[in-house]
């Protein structure tokens, strides 16, 4: 029964309009690379559009990511990978003072800090038109395509949020940080902390609390910087894992089912995935340490924002400093009809096989919904808002699994659009997707907002996402540590690869 629900979550899909507004920045000049934090390889330099010890973005609209209003006509000065100054817009002579970009009509937002950003894809063997597929479902690594797609979409820092190939993820992080491969900075999550029964053949199936402790100890030693508990973990195992992780200063998140949100908060968990979709506290027949048939849908359907149960739960989460990660992109398909079709650029990133599978899967849900999809969606959006209003830290991530159309990078942009649908203002949505993630990671002094002294991790987009959030799709250049990557070139380099490697 848990496996049915898991499959269900995996096929949630959403789609959206392709409206990439590529346009050229006429003032860009090719500039040789100068000393950066890491010497970039030839393969990475290929994607660099602008770099140098000093780069000035002139006449740009600044959306700081800290929730402040957009500020028109600013100059942002980048020096040696950092934001050196943000000043009143002015013309600056080129050459002598470094690289100068005229960004009239463009905005900068902070680099996205993606908090549910996998490096894998879901494969359903022998999927047919009747939607049947054979077990086991597999999650092949997307070590090549995913990092490029994330960076192209504006993600400069990401958490892997559950790994099936932790060695690959750890080594990938090393290669990216050394400048050998393109991609965002990575918070590598260890192997899933999953209980003895699991739908996923690639996850560890913990035997007991000691097993959980040993797993955490081993992978903390290998260098992972976060952990994620999964749907069938027991309270004892979760407790042991949290204690071991916290000893190393490492945080634990969870896509839960067997353990309720309330229980997990009291055990000291740091974050909960999928908004309020997978809390099982009101589910019929809920037994301790066991997932339910409903896997949280019943609870969500019966927990309305403003109600006693919602208030109590949110108060507990806030009191225990538990963050919540909104993953609206992967849940959007449940919102009911009228959703936009898949965005063409995202479809273009997929292999023909992945695209075909997606078209089969989009036809319907894997099974009849247990609750009213519209009500679930509505309740979740309202609960996420109430959580933030109560002082809770809401994070954002796309969870690129689903039916295959939640594609790295594109999904991160879509998340911000859906947060606006939830009722957040555009600048609040941008903050949730940027600064809030940095705060959770304890890195808010270096990243997460456009501010003097911080790392120059910024996304240049055409238009004004503070007025029209969908302008976050119009990514032109992504600065990471002061190096400006060409979004379009990165996308072209993985065209047709997502779903393959």
Whether the ω angle into residue 402 lies within 30 degrees of 0, i.e. cis, is no
Contact characters 351-390, Zn ion, x per CB under 5 A? ----------------------------------------
Residues 448, 435 contacting (CB under 8 angstroms): yes
Where b means 16+ CB within 10 Å and e means fewer, 99-135 reads bbbbbeebbbbbbbbbbbbbbbbbbbeebeeeeebee
- Closer CB to Zn ion, 161 or 487, in the complex: 161
d(CA 439, CA 281): 28
Query: Residues 434 to 493: which contact Zn ion by CB under 5 A?
Result: none
Strand partners, 205: 194
CB 388 → Zn ion: shortest distance, Å? 21
- Closer CB to Zn ion, 357 or 399, in the complex: 399
- Closer CB to Zn ion, 399 or 481, in the complex: 399
d(CA 213, CA 242): 8
Q: What is the largest CA-CA distance in the chain?
A: 71
CB 369 → Zn ion: shortest distance, Å? 20
Piece of the chain touching Zn ion by CB under 5 A; list 29-37, 63-71, 233-241, 397-405 = 397-405
- Closer CB to Zn ion, 258 or 449, in the complex: 258
Q: Which of 230, 229, 257 is nearest to 244 (CA)?
A: 229
- Closer CB to Zn ion, 334 or 399, in the complex: 399
Beta-carbon contacts of 451 under 8 Å, excluding residues fewer than 6 positions away, are: 64, 66, 83, 86
Q: Nearest 5°: CA angle at 155, between 349 and 247?
A: 125
CB 275 → Zn ion: shortest distance, Å? 12
Residue nearest to Zn ion (CB): 399
Piece of the chain touching Zn ion by CB under 5 A; list 101-109, 188-196, 262-270, 395-403 = 395-403
For strand 48-50 and strand 483-486, is the pairing parallel, antiparallel, or unpaired? antiparallel
Where b means 16+ CB within 10 Å and e means fewer, 424-438 reads bebbbbbbbbbbbbb
CB 122 → Zn ion: shortest distance, Å? 10
- Closer CB to Zn ion, 179 or 254, in the complex: 254
Q: Quick check: 399 binds Zn ion (CB under 5 A)? A: yes
CB 136 → Zn ion: shortest distance, Å? 17
DSSP for 185-241 reads EEE-B-B-BB-SS-S-TTS-B--SHHHHHHHHHHHHHHT--EEEE-TT--HHHHHHH
- Closer CB to Zn ion, 12 or 267, in the complex: 12
CB 431 → Zn ion: shortest distance, Å? 22
Residues 499, 350 contacting (CB under 8 angstroms): yes
CB 274 → Zn ion: shortest distance, Å? 8
CB 162 → Zn ion: shortest distance, Å? 6
- Closer CB to Zn ion, 92 or 229, in the complex: 229
Q: Quick check: 194 binds Zn ion (CB under 5 A)? A: no
d(CA 77, CA 5): 49
CB 164 → Zn ion: shortest distance, Å? 11
- Closer CB to Zn ion, 270 or 399, in the complex: 399
Query: Residues 295 to 334: which contact Zn ion by CB under 5 A?
Result: none
Task: Give residue for tokens 């991609």.
Answer: 183
- Closer CB to Zn ion, 52 or 402, in the complex: 402
Helices of type H across 343-479: 344-349, 352-361, 373-389, 410-421, 426-433, 435-440
CB 276 → Zn ion: shortest distance, Å? 16
DSSP for 317-336 reads HHHTT-EEEE-HHHHGGGG-
Piece of the chain touching Zn ion by CB under 5 A; list 9-17, 188-196, 347-355, 392-400 = 392-400
Piece of the chain touching Zn ion by CB under 5 A; list 276-284, 344-352, 398-406, 442-450 = 398-406
Q: Quick check: 169 binds Zn ion (CB under 5 A)? A: no
Residues touching Zn ion, count (CB under 5 A): 1
Which residues make up the interface to Zn ion (CB under 5 A)? 399
């Amino acid at each position: 029964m848990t496996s049915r629900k898991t499959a269900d979550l995996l096929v949630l899909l959403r789609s959206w309009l392709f409206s990439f507004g590529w346009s050229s920045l006429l003032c860009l000049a090719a500039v040789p690379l100068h000393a950066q934090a890491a010497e970039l390889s030839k393969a990475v330099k290929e994607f660099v559009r602008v770099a140098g010890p000093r780069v000035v973005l002139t006449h740009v609209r600044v959306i700081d990511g800290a929730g402040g209003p957009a500020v028109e006509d600013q100059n942002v000065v980048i020096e040696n990978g950092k934001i050196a100054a943000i000043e009143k817009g002015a013309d600056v002579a080129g050459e002598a003072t470094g690289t100068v970009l005229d960004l009239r009509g463009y905005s900068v937002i902070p680099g996205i800090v993606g908090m549910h950003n996998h490096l894998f894809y879901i494969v359903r063997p022998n999927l047919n038109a009747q939607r049947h597929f054979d077990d086991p479902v597999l999650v092949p690594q997307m070590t090549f395509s995913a990092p490029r797609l994330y960076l192209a979409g504006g993600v400069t820092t990401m958490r892997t949020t559950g790994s099936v190939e932790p060695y690959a993820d750890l080594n990938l992080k090393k290669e990216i940080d050394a400048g050998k491969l393109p991609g965002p900075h990575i918070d590598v999550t260890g192997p899933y902390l999953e209980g003895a029964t699991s739908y996923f053949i690639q996850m560890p199936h913990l035997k007991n609390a000691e097993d959980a402790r040993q797993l955490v100890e081993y992978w903390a030693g290998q260098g992972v910087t976060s952990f994620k508990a999964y749907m069938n973990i027991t309270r004892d195992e979760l407790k042991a894992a949290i204690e071991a992780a916290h000893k190393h200063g490492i945080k634990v998140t969870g896509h839960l089912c067997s353990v309720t949100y309330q229980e997990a908060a009291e055990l000291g968990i740091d974050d909960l995935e999928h908004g309020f979709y997978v809390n099982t506290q009101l589910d019929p027949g809920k037994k301790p340490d066991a997932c339910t048939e409903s896997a949280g849908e019943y609870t969500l359907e019966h927990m309305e924002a403003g109600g006693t149960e919602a208030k109590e739960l949110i108060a507990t989460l806030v009191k225990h400093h538990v963050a919540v990660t909104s993953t609206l992109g992967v849940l959007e398909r449940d919102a009911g009809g009228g959703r936009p079709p898949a965005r063409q650029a995202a479809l273009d990133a997929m292999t023909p096989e992945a695209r075909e599978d997606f078209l089969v899967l989009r036809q319907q849900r894997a099974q009849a919904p247990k609750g009213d999809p519209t009500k679930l969606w509505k309740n979740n959006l309202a609960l996420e808002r109430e959580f933030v209003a109560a002082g809770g830290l809401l994070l954002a991530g796309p969870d690129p699994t689903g039916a295959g159309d939640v594609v790295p990078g594109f999904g991160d942009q879509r998340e911000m659009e859906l947060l606006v649908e939830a009722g957040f203002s555009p600048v609040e949505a941008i903050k949730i997707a940027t600064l809030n993630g940095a705060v959770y990671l304890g890195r808010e002094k270096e990243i997460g907002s456009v501010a003097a002294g911080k790392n120059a991790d910024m996304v240049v987009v055409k238009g004004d996402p503070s007025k029209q959030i969908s302008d976050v799709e119009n990514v032109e250049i992504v600065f990471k540590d002061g190096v400006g990557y060409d979004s379009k070139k990165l996308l072209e380099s993985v065209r047709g690869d997502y779903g393959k490697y």
